[in-house]
Amino acid sequence: MVSEVAMPSRYAHLSIDAERTMSMIEASCAWGSTPDGGMNRLSCNDDDRKVRDWFVDEAKKCGCEIKVDQMGNIFAIRPGQNNNLPPIGLGSHLDTQPTGGRYDGILGVISALEVLKTIHANNVTTYAPLAVVNWTNEEGARFPPAMLCSGVWGGEFSVDYGHSRTDPGGKSLGQELERIGYKGDVPCSYDANPLLAHFEVHIEQGPILDVAKEAIAVVTGVQSMCWYHIDVAGREAHTGTTPMDRRSDALLGAAKIIIETNRFVTEGELAARGARATIAVINSLPQSINTIAGKVKMGLDIRAPADADTAKVEELCRNSFQKIAEEAGLTVAVDRFWTSPALHFDPTMVNCVRESAKSLGCAMELVSGAGHDSVYASRKVPTAMIFVRCRDGISHNPAEYSSPEDCAAGAQTLLGAYLRYDDYVRKSHEGGS
């Protein structure tokens, strides 16, 4: 059921400050910036500590109480009228890829801070408390997997699992949180430290908005995603002494697998329905230029808006890989090691975003192709997202860029969506308006 949501007239005059938003992005990127204009702020390094300190200071200026949980997730909570309710969360992450940009995650946290500042500057008392949330280690670039600490909060991982994740140097996330002073006492779980809902602004990280010339999009959910290990095995043999017709070349088989996989999602109905399949990781063994590859290991990523379509692509791949292997005297093993079903965000939350976007003249709706902290948040609470256009769809790259206008549109949409939802909560509890 989608509830009607409207902007309370008493908030109609509220507007975020675009310049302040950009100044905050600039300020927060002082720690971990790289000469090429990008960012390198791996979770829990010294730069991450500094930007966390800055975040806490900024939030405190707006009357927030700071809660840090066992995974270092920071909840900056501004009281509302009904403080028996959990806060409505506006969150994202401040950590980056090692060669990342200034918007992925950062824009979400800064938009939330901007909403907080706007509300605070206008002496608004919201109904529910407001929490600006910085989730730890969303990228997973230093401590795999991604979305680790929203995942702990959302019940996907245990705290022990989270603490025990290690970086390539052997340091654990638990140790590093302790070192930077952000291993908090608050239990990391929805049950112990709940939110009422979760909104997130994030750059699209794809080219659809840029191609469509739209500033922002309403995100209605997240694609169905599956990850696979593919192991192709043939027979090692000398490249110089083994006739071409007496080979079991694992890499030749792998090449056919890559091409067939691509064909399944670039032709016909699956392509029309937005299915995607990618093989991006490949390594051959024994890595000797004059020994025919005996083994090839690959990673396969299949996505589609509908679960039925990821299943269909998987079936096509499995059948085709088997045929390729048999024809070439190879064996192939396909192991699905991660599955994330299609996610449909809460209709009322999405409607709040939709109505807010509409007020800016934006109507585009997208299904997120990537995972975000909102995926795990949505396991526990009503969740919705706002996508902001990024130039050429480039992300995880120093060239990542969203214009000041688009960043402002994202923050303004967040403000409107959040205030609508807060009013919806008020009505739910008080009745009427």
CA distance 16 to 152: 32
Which value, to the nearest 10 degrees, does the dihedral of the CA atoms of residues 118, 193, 204, 206 take?
170
Q: Which is nearer to its own copies, 54 or 227 (CB)?
A: 227
Q: Which is nearer to its own copies, 187 or 299 (CB)?
A: 299
Q: Which is nearer to its own copies, 120 or 396 (CB)?
A: 396
DSSP 117-180: HHHHHTT---SS-EEEEE-TTSS-SSSSSTTHHHHHHTTSS-HHHHHH-B-TTS-BHHHHHHHT
Nearest distance in Å: CB 352, its own copies = 23
Q: Answer for the pair 360, 412: CB distance below 8 angstroms, yes or no.
A: yes
Q: How far is CA 364 from the centre of its chain?
A: 19
Nearest distance in Å: CB 80, its own copies = 35
Q: Which is nearer to its own copies, 12 or 259 (CB)?
A: 259
Nearest distance in Å: CB 245, its own copies = 7
Q: Which residues bind its own copies (CB under 8 A)?
A: 204-208, 211, 223, 225, 227, 236-246, 249, 251-252, 254-256, 258-259, 262, 265-266, 271, 274, 276, 278-284, 287-293, 296, 299-301, 303, 368-371, 393-397
Number of alpha carbons in the 13 Å side-chain half-sphere of residue 302: 33
Nearest distance in Å: CB 259, its own copies = 5
A 10 A CB-CB count for 127 gives 23
DSSP state of 385: E
The beta strand positions in 223-273, using DSSP E, are: 224-233
Q: Which is nearer to its own copies, 69 or 167 (CB)?
A: 167
Q: Which is nearer to its own copies, 122 or 262 (CB)?
A: 262
Nearest distance in Å: CB 386, its own copies = 15
Q: Which is nearer to its own copies, 116 or 324 (CB)?
A: 324
What contacts 222, CB < 8 A, 6 or more positions away?
Answer: 340, 342, 343, 345, 367, 368, 370, 371, 372, 374, 375
Nearest distance in Å: CB 350, its own copies = 19
Nearest distance in Å: CB 237, its own copies = 7
Prior bond of 286 cis (ω within 30°): yes
What contacts 424, CB < 8 A, 6 or more positions away?
Answer: 3, 5, 348, 352
Nearest distance in Å: CB 282, its own copies = 5
Q: Which is nearer to its own copies, 69 or 104 (CB)?
A: 104
CA distance 195 to 250: 50
